[in-house]
Amino acid sequence: MSLQSSMIFGFLKTPLETMIQLYTTEVIPHLTKRNKTIGITTAIVLSSIYFIRDTIFKPPRNLRHLPYFGYFSVIRSLMKGESMFDRGYSAHIPLVNARPDGLYVEPGKVGWEVHVSNPEDVKHILLKTDVFPKADFNKGSEFGLLNKFVAGPNVIIISGDHWKSQRKVINPAFRRSMPVKLFGQLTQELFLTIEKLGSTVDVSDLMMRCTLDAIGRAGFGFDFSAIRDSNSHWTTLYNELTEGFRDYKFFIFPALDQSLLWLFPKRKILHQKLDIFMDKLDQVIQSKRNQLSEGHTSNIDLEHERDLLTLMIESEQRGDGALTDLELKSNLCLFFFAGHDTTSSALSFAIYHLAKHPEIQERARAEAIDILGDEPTDILPTAEEIKRMSYINQVMKETLRITGPVPRLGTRIATEDTILSGTFIPKGTSVLISVFNTHHSDKIWHDPETFNPDRFSDEQGAQGWLPFGGGSRLCIGMNFSLNEQRVMISMLLRKYKWSFPEGSSFETELVTSGVPVVAPEGLKMTFKKRY
């Protein structure tokens, strides 16, 4: 079976089985024995033709008042190797900019989805969680690689009272956790690695390693040693899993990762490796619980430098609520995926933009030197100092606008008929907020494809900026990630000047890959020491 055939089969399997079953139980008994074989064959062919014509090529009838992209458009994009950014530029943005409502329909993980980008519509969806609750991310792909990792009982998946009880434990942990000193120490380790590798390094790889160590140590006190050793056991294992999570075809076509997994033996091995990683998390959680129950406190004196797992268990002990081991593990997996991949991509994109625009790099460096001084030695910023980095913060915000690592927010379901930008959206519709479209629409931003940190010198663009979502479900790790970026970028600016190596394709084209998190692919940079 070809790859394209298997993709299509993944979509057709359940509806066709249902049609065949109905035909077998309701129609065949009334046929003569001689005509049964012909009847079954005819039914399958006719049902297939009808289903493909009316479901694959077109959205549901109640959404056909909106422009749409069909399944084969998505498959064609996949076959061409387009990243989510590439597809946004080639297909979505021209349509969004041409329509007042900015709406269109496209098949996604939960079926046909209405993509929304106008800020007022986005705000309405994010604030009206009763009207637009999150779709079941797990439905239909419970045993896919990514879902097994992040689709458990955690704060991004659950809702209602269950969600509120978890936030009661997790919110205080994130408020108390701000390991600025740890971020600085990891950046110093990064400097040592750059020195060993030479002046030209793979930034994409280094940022992945650096943020993996950050989330490991700040998340649950586990040292991957990724910065020092890219081939360490757990680093290699997690990186293999990360590559698997980013594989577009398994995200868009979940059947390939489940009922058709036998077609992909390498993918099956990844599932086995994920089981090993999850077992390791179970061991870490149990060990941490035992240590704290026996009165062994953290050897870190400053509470805000303790790992999140310790802080969450301590919240339980204070009576703020309790999480089961399964809930703790599921949230740690979420912190990994959201805190590692996204921050790694954001840092890589920031380094790219600062190389692309040397004048902006110099201006950001001047601010870092003004705040931290220009002594020829590594300075670890304090929490108070990073709050003063206004221009570096603008660079980060513009990076997250023009190359936000998460192009789309989780799908929601309209529980009642509603109006978005004057357009009727029927009850039961899957609605998806397109961060990429919002961030690149010329109806929202002046000259949206120009990298311009000054657009964030005031709050002018705040309503159209949503890399961390919004409303009550705003990303819980937003400040954690932003502070990690502030520390690393400011320290890099003081230590180095950087530029593209000679002949780099990134000088003319930004090459990206990944889903649902997008990152620059193979970004290399030449660093020149200042001291």
- Print the SS3 string covering 15-51: HHHHHHHHHHHHHHHHCCHHHHHHHHHHHHHHHHHHH
User: What DSSP designation does 264 have?
Assistant: -
Which strands make up the sheet holding 524-529, listed edge to edge? 200-202, 524-529, 496-499
The residue assigned the tokens 């868009």 is: 252
- Kindly provide the b/e burial profile for residues 491-513, where b requires at least 16 CB atoms within 10 angstroms of the residue's own CB: bbbbbbbbbbeeebebeeebebb
358: Cα within 13 Å, side-chain hemisphere? 6
210 is in an annotated binding site: no
CB 356 within 8 A of CB 195: no
- The phi and psi torsions of 382 (rounded to 5 degrees) equal -95, 170
Q: Do residues 355 and 500 touch, judged by C-beta distance below 8 A? A: yes
- Label residue 214 exposed, middle or buried (CB < 10 Å: 0-12, 13-18, 19+): buried
CA–CA separation, 229 and 227 (whole Å): 6
Between the alpha carbon of residue 158 and those of residues 135, 137, 150, 152, 195, the distances in Å are 10, 10, 12, 8, 45
Give the DSSP letter of residue 53.
I
> Is the distance from CB of 102 to CB of 421 less than 8 angstroms?
yes
* Contact indicator for 421, 121 with CB cutoff of 8 Å: yes
Cis previous bond, 59, omega within 30:
no
Closest among 367, 368, 365 to 381, alpha carbons compared? 368
CA 258 – CA 223 distance, rounded (Å): 32
Tell how strand 200-202 and strand 524-529 pair up.
antiparallel
How does DSSP classify residue 409? P
Instruction: Show the CA angle centred on residue 90, arms to residues 86 and 93, nearest 5°.
Output: 100
Query: What is the per-residue DSSP string for 391-404?
Result: HHHHHHHHHHHHT-
Rounded-to-integer distance, Cα 7 and Cα 259, Å: 11
Cα separation, 256 vs 264, in Å, equals 8
DSSP 134: B
List Cβ neighbours of 516 (8 Å cut-off, separation of 6 or more): 84, 251, 406, 407, 408
Residues making up the annotated binding site for heme are 475
Annotated binding site: 475
